[in-house]
Structure 1
Amino acid sequence: MANEDLRTAQAGKNDEFYTQYHDIEVEMNAYLEYNPDVFRGKTILLPCDDPEWSNFTKYFAAKFDA
């Protein structure tokens, strides 16, 4: 059964995983609660192929000034 699911996913044309905006927000808030200056002065590389559709890009663009 599980092997069947993997084969179906492998054959699917739109089988991509996108990290949800909410998940990014929760994870980043955990870092910032631990140390509010953890990202200050740092360069952040975003794991995305298309910045126009990336939730990582959307999140960091919205929170850039903060």
Structure 2
Amino acid sequence: MATINLAAAKTAKEDEFYTQMSDIERELQHYWPHFAGKVVLCNCDDPYESNFFKYFALNFNLLGLKKLICT
């Protein structure tokens, strides 16, 4: 299945793959207590395309983050 998806993306010239928001939410919910007072660095090409940036920006206060840095 993955090979078919990659082949189709190559044919369509779509070479950007992003982690889905649902996957980020499902995984990071287990680490919420660890984010309080922390600085998060998102190493991404474009913060406005990154679902990690969106997740941390939307949940900044809920997580109790000190700072969010995206490069």
* TM-score after normalising by structure 1: 0.67
Identical columns (%) = 54
Comparing both structures, which one devotes a greater share of its residues to strand?
2
Show the counterpart of 2:52.
56
After superposition, what is the alpha-carbon deviation per residue over 1:39-62, rounded to whole angstroms, capped at 9, x for unaligned?
A: 122111113211111111111111
Show the counterpart of 1:29.
29
Structure 1 residue ranges (4+ consecutive) displaced by more than 4 angstroms after TM superposition: none
Aligned-pair RMSD on alpha carbons?
Answer: 2.4
Comparing both structures, which one devotes a greater share of its residues to helix?
2
Give the unaligned 5+ runs of structure 2. Answer: 63-71
Match among 40, 61, 64 for residue 44 of structure 1: 40
Give the unaligned 5+ runs of structure 1. Answer: none
Count of matched residue pairs: 58
Cα distance in 2, alignment partners of residues 65 and 19 from structure 1:
22
* TM-score after normalising by structure 2: 0.63
